[in-house]
């Protein structure tokens, strides 16, 4: 619903898009595209995928007609070995955020899948291989949730449960300290991890983004709380130099 509601998260993403130096393209790693083997979208005109059910019709009517970037896809393939996928479109993990950031849909978007066969440490290394793209003003975007436990959600709970806040705090401390290696073993952060990350797919998009971070780059938290008890809505921008003065 963040894609269509004028709420605090949508406004924060919109404000970020207005402040950023416009990227040449976006490379998005979303929690909602898991594959066996790494894949990258290569269509020049990726479709809008509505990969959910049970939501209002207005969400299914959303289209995000951003162009793809076959040249960027080929570059990602060369850097990572990802197999080009000309059929895959943009899932809601990508367009729900990008629709707020770049509402005119003019910035090209390419998606990189989550490879189920890669260990968390490999995801961090993947980001390091992608880092050279930043010199060409490619925005590397990870879309997921640091805390994501649908089984513990409470629609009557406005903020997060205590354990969600504790886990978010530990993750933010590691990000501020530029200690991404510690986050590849998030279960070791404490007993809250099992509740915060019952399955890995929503946590993993953070790792390649951290891997692409240059030493000493700033970390600014744009949104920073959990909702409905067990859904973390923390957003972090790495590298404030990409923001207009």
- pLDDT tens digits along 217-240: 999 999 999 999 999 999 999 986
Q: Are strands 25-35 and 138-143 parallel, antiparallel or unpaired?
A: parallel
Question: Is residue 54 very low, low, confident or very high in pLDDT (cuts 50, 70, 90)?
Answer: low
Could you give the CA distance from residue 128 to residue 4 in angstroms, rounded to a whole number?
A: 33
The residue segments making up the domain with residue 33 are 8-242
Q: Measure the CA–CA gap between 148 and 197, rounded to whole angstroms.
A: 6
40 bridge partner residues: 84, 112
Report pLDDT for 214. Answer: 94
Contact 228, 159 (CB under 8 A): no
pLDDT at 239: 87
pLDDT number for residue 62 = 82
The answer to whether position 238 is within a domain reads yes
Percent residues over pLDDT 90 in the chain: 89
| pLDDT at residue 245 is higher than 70 | no
Please name which of 115, 128, 27 lies closest in space to residue 73, comparing C-alpha atoms.
27
Q: Among candidates 60, 62, 67, 20, which has minimal Cα distance to 42? A: 67
Position 3 in a domain: no
The pTM for the full model equals 0.94
In a domain, 1, yes or no: no
Instruction: Tell me if 5 sits within 8 A of 62, measured CB to CB.
Output: no
Q: Answer whether residue 4 shows pLDDT above 60.
A: no
Q: Which residues contact 192 (CB under 8 A, 6 or more apart)?
A: 163, 164, 166, 167, 170
> Average pLDDT in the 28-53 region?
93
CATH number at residue 208: 3.40.830.10
Residue 79 domain-assigned? yes
Report the number of distinct structural domains present in the chain.
Answer: 1
* pLDDT band per the 50, 70, 90 thresholds, residue 6: confident
Question: Residue 153: its pLDDT value, please?
Answer: 95
Is residue 242 pLDDT above 70, yes or no? Answer: no
Q: Cα 122 from chain centroid?
A: 17
Q: What's the CA gap between 66 and 105, in Å, rounded?
A: 4
Nearest to 185 by CA among 124, 126, 112: 124
Which positions ≥6 away from 191 have C-beta within 8 Å?
Answer: 163
Spatial separation of the C-alpha atoms in residues 112 and 109, rounded to whole Å: 10
- Is residue 32 situated within a structural domain? yes
Residues 77/51, Cβ–Cβ less than 8 Å: no
The predicted structure's pLDDT at residue 61? 79
pLDDT surpasses 70 at 1? no
pLDDT at 243 over 90: no
Phi and psi, residue 232, nearest 5°: -80, 130
- Mean pLDDT (the chain, rounded): 93
- Rama region for 213: left / alpha / beta (φ>0; ψ in -120 to 50; rest): beta
**Mean pLDDT, residues 97-105:** 96
Task: Let me know if residue 38 belongs to a domain.
Answer: yes
Question: From CA 190, how far away is CA 178, in angstroms rounded?
Answer: 19
pLDDT tens for 136-190 read 999 999 999 999 999 999 999 999 999 999 999 999 999 999 999 999 999 999 9
Share of the chain above pLDDT 70, in %: 93
48 part of a folded domain: yes
User: What integer pLDDT is reported at residue 117 of this predicted model?
Assistant: 94
158 within a domain of the structure (yes/no):
yes
Per the listing, tokens 């390649």 go with: 208
Alpha helix segments (H runs only) across the chain: 8-19, 57-60, 70-80, 92-101, 120-130, 162-176, 180-183, 192-196, 206-211
């Amino acid at each position: 619903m963040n894609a269509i509601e004028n709420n605090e998260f949508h406004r924060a993403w919109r404000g970020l898009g207005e402040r950023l130096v416009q990227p040449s393209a976006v490379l998005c790693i979303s929690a909602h595209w898991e594959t066996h083997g790494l894949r990258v979208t290569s269509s020049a005109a990726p479709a809008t995928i509505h990969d959910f059910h049970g939501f209002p019709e207005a969400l299914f009517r959303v289209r995000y007609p951003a162009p793809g970037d076959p040249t960027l896809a080929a570059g990602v393939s060369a850097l990572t070995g990802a197999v080009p996928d000309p059929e895959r479109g943009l899932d809601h993990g990508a367009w729900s955020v990008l629709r707020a950031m770049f509402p005119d849909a003019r910035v090209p978007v390419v998606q990189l899948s989550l490879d189920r066969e890669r260990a968390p440490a490999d995801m961090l290394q993947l980001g390091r291989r992608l880092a050279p793209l930043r010199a060409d003003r490619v925005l590397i975007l990870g879309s997921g949730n640091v805390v994501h436990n649908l089984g513990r959600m409470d629609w009557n709970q406005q903020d997060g449960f205590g354990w969600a806040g504790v886990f978010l705090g530990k993750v933010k401390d590691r990000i501020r300290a530029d200690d991404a290696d510690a986050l590849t073993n998030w279960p070791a952060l404490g007993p809250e991890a099992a509740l915060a990350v019952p399955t890995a797919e929503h946590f993993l998009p953070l790792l390649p983004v951290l891997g692409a971070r240059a030493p000493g780059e700033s970390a600014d938290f744009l949104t920073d709380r959990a909702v409905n008890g067990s859904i973390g809505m923390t957003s972090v921008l790495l590298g404030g130099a990409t923001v207009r003065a």
